[in-house]
């Protein structure tokens, strides 16, 4: 079967010649790692069967998070760990999407903007949850960053799995949501999220690179019930250690 690594080895040199100056260091490293994953270039180890003395040489993997052949075991361990942390309560999936006007800045300053995006999403939910008018407690949250859509368009967004309730400020009791299938209205979350992102972009010194009307338009925050959280974990687990393009 033709693999991503075969394509990179065949077309990589021409691709680098054409686009090399525009590639981020992380992209160049990914190309190098995927091309050499489980090849002699990475060395390996020799296994001997303690029953028949058969010898097998196995090349080392690259462990790059963008490699479609790596991280299967890491994904399984991550899912097992997160499943064990699920609480016996309803869950919700909240998706925070970065507006199109901010995406070129995000692409050029990934570490700064992605960090700000995840933090702003989490802080927005914690801020609303702490308000007694909405919940008056501290929920448990799990945030996962995605940067592409199913058709591979650049589309930074954060999925947050959040409990339908939270721990009271004094830590003595659990406060459930007023309605089991309703968390917060998206129109309340949106301006808080927008404000926190604006503050983060200003602190990073990138505010002059963003069109001013970005901070007055509506931002997309989508809230939906997630049952006991199991199915959302399965969905998120596909992307924590996996990538958009698989060998299949």
Determine the structural domain holding residue 77 and report its residue range: 72-240
Decide if pLDDT at 20 tops 90. Answer: no
pLDDT of residue 239: 77
Residues 140 and 24 in one domain: no
The answer to whether residue 67 is domain-embedded is: no
Q: What does pTM read for this prediction?
A: 0.80
Domain count, the chain: 2
Q: Concatenated DSSP letters for 146-194? A: EEE-TT--EEEEEEEEEESEEE-TTSS-EEE-SBTTB---HHHHHHHHH
Residues 221 and 169 in one domain: yes
Low-confidence winner among 57-61, 92-96, 98-102, 187-191 (lowest mean pLDDT): 57-61
Higher pLDDT, 48 or 96: 96
What distance in Å separates the CA atoms of residue 134 and residue 4, rounded to the nearest whole number?
Answer: 48
Residues 33 and 127 in one domain: no
């Amino acid at each position: 079967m033709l693999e991503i690594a075969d394509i990179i080895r065949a077309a990589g040199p021409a691709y680098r010649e054409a686009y090399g100056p525009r590639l981020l260091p992380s992209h160049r490293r990914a190309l190098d790692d995927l091309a050499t994953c489980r090849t002699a270039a990475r060395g390996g180890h020799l296994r001997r069967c303690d029953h028949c003395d058969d010898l097998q040489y196995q090349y080392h993997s690259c462990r790059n998070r963008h490699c479609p052949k790596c991280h299967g075991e890491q994904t399984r361990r991550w899912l097992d760990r997160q499943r064990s942390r699920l609480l016996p309560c309803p869950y919700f999936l909240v998706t925070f999407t970065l507006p199109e006007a901010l995406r070129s800045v995000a692409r050029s300053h990934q570490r700064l903007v992605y960090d700000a995006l995840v933090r702003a999403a989490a802080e927005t939910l914690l801020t609303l949850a702490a308000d007694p008018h909405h919940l008056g407690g501290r929920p448990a949250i799990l945030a996962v960053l995605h940067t592409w859509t199913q058709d591979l368009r650049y589309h930074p967004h954060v999925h947050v799995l959040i409990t339908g309730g939270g721990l009271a400020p004094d830590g003595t009791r659990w406060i459930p949501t007023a309605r089991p299938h309703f968390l917060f209205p998206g129109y309340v979350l949106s301006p808080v999220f927008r404000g926190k992102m604006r503050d983060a972009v200003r602190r990073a010194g990138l505010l002059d690179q963003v069109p001013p009307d970005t901070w007055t338009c509506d931002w997309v925050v989508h809230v939906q019930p997630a049952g006991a959280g199991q199915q959302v974990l399965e969905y998120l687990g596909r992307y924590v250690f996996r990538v958009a393009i698989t060998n299949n």
